[in-house]
Copies of this chain bind each other. A is one copy, B any other.
Amino acid sequence: MGSDNRCENCIIRQFNSLRAMSKEELKQVSDSKTTKTIKKGEAIFEEGEKLNGVFCVRDGVSKLSKLSSNGKDQIVKLATKGEVMGQRSVIAEETSNLSAVAVNDMELCFIPKEIIVNTLHKNPDFAFEVLRLMAHDLKEADDVIVNISQKTVKQRIAEAFLYLKANYGEDADGYLILTLSREDIANVVGTATESCIRIISEFKKKGLLKSSGKKLGILDEKTLRELAEGF
């Protein structure tokens, strides 16, 4: 086993709560973790499933979604490199309220819940760090609630593109690095796929977005931002 496979040496750790763990604790985690490769479109866990641990994203992006009673998926969060999925369910000792599906090819570490829970009870710094991250998630969730209920679909789609650029960046040609299908974007903003496609087409016609194959790029960020703010 190469040393790059050890949590102690994992750079990803710098971005999540594991950075508050002691050398000893990290060693324990590393010894009991398993690494998984997940292909685009595959499920990591399903809504209602009992999670026996958490998943640390080493590479790729996962969509965390919840099925509504009308049969549509609502994407609640996108989890990226460095983020830990499943913490909420493990801490609350509940089955998962969300499903996780890979948006692109992923590499994950699975960490058994016993280690997480034990460390939470023994290491207050770790607990505080997890708390801080969960506080952040909660704030983001509040923002999503306000956006969905008070902004129009057009505003939310504009905002989604700004979010994708800000969080995942764009390539040398100005195309967004994270490519989501129209259906996924619709499920993020909470609208019908057709409505989403229509508005993206409109944005392209107006010169706000460009596309090449499946890739989409932002041409006019200023106008997009004004749109999102409601002007």
Contact = CB atoms under 8 A, between A and B. Distances in A.
Contacts of A88: 135, 138-139
A206 interface: no
Interface residues of A, number: 48
A162 B68 CA distance: 18
Q: Which of A68, A138, A141, A229 has the most CB of B within 10 A?
A: A138
Given A127-B128, A135-B134, A146 B92 contact: no
Identical copies of this chain, number: 2
By secondary structure, the A interface counts as helix
A27 interface: no
Contacts of A142: 66, 76, 97-98, 141
A88 B142 CA distance: 11
A59 to B, nearest CB: 25
Interface stretch (A3-11, A117-125, A164-172, A208-216): A117-125
A127 B134 contact: no
Nearest to A122: B124
Interface string A6-40: 00000000000000000000000000000000000
A82 interface: no
Contact of A145 (B74, B89, B230): B74
What 4 pairs across the A-B complex have the smallest Cβ distances? A149-B190, A68-B150, A141-B141, A127-B127
